Amino acid sequence: MTGWNTAGDVTGDVHQSRDHIRFGDTTTFVRGDHVTNLFYEMRRKRREARLVADDHVRWLAERFVPPGRFPAHALTAPGTVVLTGPDGAGLRTAALMLLTRNGEIGLTELRELADRAEDDDEPALDPAGIAEGDRLLLDLTRTEAERVDRLRPELEAYRAAVTTGRARLVVVVRLDQRHLLADSLAELVVPVDPPPGDRVLEKHLGLGGFEVPADIREHLAGASPREIAELARLALEAREADPGGAVVTWLRAAKAAQVRRDAEAAELFGKHQDGATRALIVVAAFLSGASLEALVQSEAAFRDQVELPGEDGHALDGDYLAERMARVGLRAGGTRTVSFTSLGLDRAVRTHFWTYFPDLRDQLSDWVWSAVALREVDDGAATNLAARLAELVLATGRVDHLTSLALRWGSGARPDLALRLLTTGLRHPRWSWAFRRHVYDRSRSSELSPRYAQVLITACAVAIAPNWPTQALVRLHNLTRHHDSEVRDEARQALLDLVHRRRFQRRLLHRLAERDLRPEDHATLYDLDVPPHVARENSTRRNLITAWSRVLAAGARAVPSAALHRWLDRDPELLVAACAGRWPRLDDLYVAARASGDAARLRPLIDSVPSPTRHPGMTHVEDHR
C-alpha cells in the first residue's frame, strides 16, 4: 500500500493491519478503546515522531534526480533562495533536498511554514519564531494569487529575519507567481528545469542495467516526477503479474495503463448500461486485490446503499458470478483475489465513477463505512478502501467526506482507519491546511470523544509535528485540557516530547503565561524541562514567574511533592519570586517545602524577602523552624 509522502511529490510505503499502522520506524498499535503509539527502545508512549519525517526525506533523497540548473550550494551559508520552474520540475522535492543537502543534514531543524495563520488577526509568518539553524520551507505553488500578494510585506520582513537569525529559507513559487514577489525576493529567484525523465524512472524502479526504449522516453518527456513514479509503480505491478518478462515489456504495460485506461473505463461504463453490472464494476474497482467473498458481500452492501433494486428469481437462474465477472474483465487469481485483467483499470474505473456519478459520492462514503465492517473484508481490503476513497476525495477537495468519516471511525471501532485518513490528508500538498484546521477545531471541542482524541494525538505527533511543529504544539496543548485523564496524560507526554525535541520551551511558556492557566495546565508546567540558560532570559523568566504565580495562588501544598522538589532543586529563586512578596503564599510554600525536604534551601531566600506586618493568625516561617 502507498501513502502520500511528506514532501508531496512522490508516494511512500505504509504498512497497516487492524492492530497497527506503520510509517517507517513508527508503529501505532490499536488496542481496544484507544490508539497507542509505540516507538522502539523509547518511553512508553509516543517517541520522537521526527523519525517519520526523516524517513520520508531520506526516501526522497534516495530517488532524487537534481533538476536542471539546481543550485546545490546556494544554502551553504544561511540565507534565502526562491525556487521556481514549470509544472513537473519537482520543485518541492528540490527545495527539501536543498535545505537538507540531499537528506544528510538539518533534519531536526527542518519545518514547513503555513501560508495562513491560525487566527485571522495573527500574521502567517512570525519572525519571532525563527531560531538559529532553522531550515524552513514555504511552498506557495498551491496558494491563490490574492493570498500571495497579501503575504508580500510579511514575507519580505520574514526573509530579513531569516538572515539576521542565521536560518535558511527556501520559498517555492510557480512561474506565474514571480511578479507577486517583493523586489528583494525577486532577486533571489533561481529557475530550475524538470529533471531527466529516464533518470527519474531508473531511480524509482531500482532495477538497473536496462535501457529505456524510445517510445517510453517520448512518454516521459512531458511527465512530472509524480507521474513517472506512478509509471514505475505500475511497471513493478506488471512484473508481479509477469515475473519472467523483460523490463521493456513491463514498462510498455505500465505506459498502456497510464495512457489508455481512462478511455477503457469510459468504454466499460458505456457498454454496460444496467445498474447491476455497473455496481459490480465499481465494487471490484474499490476492492481490487480483495477476496472473492469480500466482493460478494460488498456488492450486496453497495446495491443496498445506492438503492438498486434486487434481482428476482432463483440463484441458479441467469448469469452466475463467474460469467458476470468475465463479461466486465474481472478475474479471480489462484489465491481467490479479484482484479481486472487490464493493468491499472481499477484506478481508472474509480476515477471515472467519482467524476461522472457525483450524485452518488455521499452514498459511496457511507458504503465504505459499512463495507469495512463486513466479516469478509479483511484488514488489507479495509485499508485499501479507505486509501482509495481518500485519493478520489482529495482530487476534488471535498475534505468533509474524509473528516466526517475519520470522526465516525475514530469515535467507534476503527481508529486505525481514522488515523489513516487523517495522515493521508495532513500530508497532502494541497489540502493539508484543511485537515490541520479540522484537528485544531476538534482539539478545542468539549464533545471530543476519548477515542478520537487519541487518534488526534497520534496524528499531531506523526503528521503535523514533523513539518508544522508550532501548530502541533497548539493542538496538543488543547488536548491536554481534555476531560478524560488518559487523553490528558498522553497529550501532555506528546506535547513535552515535542517541546524538548524542538526546543520550544519559550513558546510553551509564552502560551501558558498569556492564556488563562487552567488546572489541567499545572501538570504540564510541573513536567516541563527548561534549560537554565533559557530560564534566565528576561522574557522566559517573566513567563515562568507568571505561570508559577497562578499555580501558587491555589496553594503550594496542592503541588505534587516530587514536582515541587524538582523545581526547588532546580530554581528555588523562581518559586520565591512567583509568590510576589505575599507572605501567605511564602508561608504555604515553606510548609510544602518542608514536606518535600527542601526547607533548608528555601529558608534563606524567604528571609531575604521584606517582611510586612503580620496579619493575625498568619503562620510565619519562623514558626516552622
Closest CA to 56 of 7, 16, 129: 7
DSSP symbols for 245-269: S-HHHHHHHHHHHHHHHHHHHHHHH
Give the pLDDT confidence of 295-334 residue by residue, as tens digits: 999 999 999 999 988 766 656 666 789 999 999 999 987 6
pLDDT at residue 206, as a whole number: 81
**223: Cβ contacts below 8 Å, ≥ 6 apart:** 88, 197, 231
Cell of 278: 455497473
pLDDT at residue 377, as a whole number: 96
In the chain, the amino acid numbered 454 is Q
Distance from C-alpha of 375 to C-alpha of 250, rounded to nearest angstrom: 36
Q: Which of 4-13, 24-33, 226-235, 265-274 comes out lowest in average pLDDT? A: 4-13
What secondary structure letter does DSSP report for 111?
A: E
Helix, strand and coil percent figures for the chain, each rounded to 5: 60, 10, 35
Average pLDDT over residues 408-413: 94
Give the pLDDT confidence of 121-149 residue by residue, as tens digits: 678 898 988 888 999 999 999 999 999 99
Residue with cell 521526527: 50
Distance from C-alpha of 360 to C-alpha of 181, rounded to nearest angstrom: 43
- Please determine, for residue 335, whether its predicted confidence score (pLDDT) is greater than 80: no
Q: Answer yes or no: are the C-beta atoms of 116 and 433 closer than 8 Å.
A: yes
Q: Answer yes or no: are the C-beta atoms of 519 and 548 closer than 8 Å.
A: no
Kindly state the percentage of the chain with pLDDT values over 70: 87
**224: Cβ contacts below 8 Å, ≥ 6 apart:** 87, 88, 90, 194
- Phi, psi of 326, deg, nearest 5: -60, -35
**150: Cβ contacts below 8 Å, ≥ 6 apart:** none
- Please determine, for residue 89, whether its predicted confidence score (pLDDT) is greater than 90: no
Q: Answer yes or no: are the C-beta atoms of 470 and 31 closer than 8 Å.
A: no
- Please determine, for residue 243, whether its predicted confidence score (pLDDT) is greater than 60: yes
Nearest-5° angle of CA 596, CA 598, CA 604?
150
More confident call, 224 vs 622: 224
What is the rounded average pLDDT for all residues in the chain? 86
Angle at which helices 247-271 and 225-241 cross, to 10°: 90
Average pLDDT over residues 170-176: 97
More confident call, 31 vs 86: 86
Q: Answer yes or no: are the C-beta atoms of 428 and 390 closer than 8 Å.
A: no
How does residue 106 score in pLDDT terms, banded at 50, 70 and 90?
confident
**602: Cβ contacts below 8 Å, ≥ 6 apart:** 568, 572, 575, 576, 589, 590, 593
The beta-strand segments (E) located in 379-522 are none
Q: Answer yes or no: are the C-beta atoms of 507 and 477 closer than 8 Å.
A: no
Q: Answer yes or no: are the C-beta atoms of 123 and 117 closer than 8 Å.
A: yes
pLDDT at residue 313, as a whole number: 65
**547: Cβ contacts below 8 Å, ≥ 6 apart:** 509, 512, 513, 517, 521, 525
- Please determine, for residue 50, whether its predicted confidence score (pLDDT) is greater than 80: no
| CA count, 13 A, side-chain hemisphere, 618 | 15
- Please determine, for residue 183, whether its predicted confidence score (pLDDT) is greater than 80: yes
Q: Which of 74-78, 157-161, 198-202, 325-329 comes out lowest in average pLDDT? A: 198-202
Give the pLDDT confidence of 345-360 residue by residue, as tens digits: 999 999 999 999 999 9
Closest CA to 198 of 240, 163, 243, 248: 248
| Sign of the CA dihedral with 210 first, then 211, 212, and 213 last | negative
Average pLDDT over residues 218-227: 87
Q: Is 274 exposed, middle or buried (0-12, 13-18, 19+ CB in 10 A)?
A: exposed
Give the pLDDT confidence of 470-516 residue by residue, as tens digits: 899 999 999 999 999 999 999 999 999 999 988 899 999 999 999 88
Q: Is 138 helix (H, G, I), strand (E, B) or coil?
A: strand
More confident call, 312 vs 237: 237
Distance from C-alpha of 95 to C-alpha of 68, rounded to nearest angstrom: 13
What secondary structure letter does DSSP report for 10?
A: S
pLDDT at residue 22, as a whole number: 40
Query: What strands, in cross-sheet order, belong to the sheet with 110-112?
Result: 110-112, 135-139, 168-174, 79-85, 189-191
Does the pTM exceed 0.85?
Answer: no
Kindly list the structural domains of the chain, giving each domain's residue range(s) and its CATH number in brackets, ordered by start: 66-195 (3.40.50.300), 504-624 (no CATH)
In the chain, the amino acid numbered 386 is A
Angle at which helices 275-286 and 247-271 cross, to 10°: 150
Q: How many CB atoms lie within 10 A of CB 501?
A: 15
Q: Is 456 helix (H, G, I), strand (E, B) or coil?
A: helix
pLDDT at residue 118, as a whole number: 73
* Residues belonging to the chain: 625
Kindly state the percentage of the chain with pLDDT values over 90: 64
Separation in Å, CA 600 to CA 298, 576, 586, 621, 622 = 72, 14, 14, 11, 13
Which range has the top average pLDDT, 277-281, 321-325, 609-613?
277-281
Distance from C-alpha of 154 to C-alpha of 221, rounded to nearest angstrom: 38
- Please determine, for residue 7, whether its predicted confidence score (pLDDT) is greater than 80: no
Average pLDDT over residues 539-548: 96
Cell of 353: 465513477
DSSP lists the bridge partners of residue 135 as: 110, 168
pLDDT at residue 318, as a whole number: 64
Give the pLDDT confidence of 438-472 residue by residue, as tens digits: 999 999 999 999 999 999 999 999 999 988 888 99
Q: What is the dihedral of CA 120, 469, 494, 23, to 10 degrees?
A: 120
pLDDT at residue 328, as a whole number: 95
How does residue 101 score in pLDDT terms, banded at 50, 70 and 90?
very high
Distance from C-alpha of 106 to C-alpha of 134, rounded to nearest angstrom: 8
pLDDT at residue 333, as a whole number: 73
Q: Is 131 helix (H, G, I), strand (E, B) or coil?
A: coil
Q: State how beta strands 189-191 and 79-85 pair.
A: parallel
What secondary structure letter does DSSP report for 560?
A: -
